[in-house]
Amino acid sequence: MATKQTATASAAAVSPAAPAATLPTPSRAYLTATADEETGEVTETSRFRYLPGHPKQIRADLKAGVFNVNGEQVLGKTLSFIPVALRIFADNILSMGRKVWAELFFVDQSGAVCAVLFHGYSVENLQKLNASLFYDDLKLTDVVLTCTPQKKENKTVGGSYFIVEFSYTPADPAEVQARQEFAQDFDLYREETLTGTEERRITQGYRVPASYHAEQPAQLDPQEGGSHAAPAAEALPVAA
């Protein structure tokens, strides 16, 4: 005589499995969708966290050759991410004089939207990579970008400094889609770096609120995805 446990197992073996619940499909790739078990009401939640105009600030400390959060928590000697949006532009920001800058926005492992700035020779290196990607029918927002500070010696005045070099690997198309749809739905910018006096060189996914444009004087039109060369860069890059 079969025990209750055996009988139950036998019944389970011959009974058809209950169909798995069908998960609702989110309307955008960066959203997750859940359905209420009783009402069936679908709720969508963003995978990414972003306070407009105030992304999490990641700094490239090119004196020490590391990346950190707000000048405090050190993240390491390399930084890898899929760019959500970016701009390369000339402007006087953060009281550092007029320079050519690269401002990139990305999502970190916690889901927070971050921004990081580069200038000087680092920007020249990024523009070279952008040109190479163009001929491979790719954009910077299509790849996992790895930023690695490389130590250089200043033979003129002595001492050393770091310049960021960039490499890439193909990104997961689903993750690229999620980020590009997020950039379509949200103004991605950093309030502290807006001046109204920029000269835009390259733009991918970057956008400020329409109300900001209404308050500013006319600017040079950005070249979407362009690859204009930057002027001669500074000899000693410093932290953004």
What is the reported pLDDT for 155?
76
Question: Would 154 be classed as within a structural domain?
Answer: yes
Question: Would 29 be classed as within a structural domain?
Answer: no
Whole domain around residue 191: which residue ranges? 56-207
Question: Would 96 be classed as within a structural domain?
Answer: yes
The 3-state secondary structure of 87-122 reads: EEEEEECCCCCEEEEEEEEEECCCCEEEEEEEECHH
Whether the CA torsion 187, 190, 196, 201 is positive or negative: it is: negative
Residue 17's contacts (CB-CB under 8 Å, 6 or more residues apart) are none
Q: Which of 155, 129, 171, 163 is nearest to 60 (CA)?
A: 163
Whole-model pTM? 0.79
For residue range 131-148, what is the model confidence (pLDDT) as tens digits? 999 999 999 999 999 999
- How many domains does the chain fold into? 1
For residue range 166-193, what is the model confidence (pLDDT) as tens digits? 999 999 999 999 999 999 999 999 999 9
169 by DSSP, 3-state: which? strand
Question: Would 28 be classed as within a structural domain?
Answer: no
Instruction: Report, as ranges of residue numbers, the positions in the chain whose pLDDT lies below 50.
Output: 1-15, 18-19, 217-240
What is the reported pLDDT for 216?
58
**Rg of the chain's alpha carbons, rounded to an integer?**
24
Strand 56-61 versus strand 113-119 pairing type: parallel
Question: Would 238 be classed as within a structural domain?
Answer: no
Question: Would 71 be classed as within a structural domain?
Answer: yes
What is the reported pLDDT for 200?
94
Question: Would 4 be classed as within a structural domain?
Answer: no
User: Would you say 239 and 118 are in contact if contact means Cβ atoms under 8 Å apart?
Assistant: no
Question: Would 146 be classed as within a structural domain?
Answer: yes
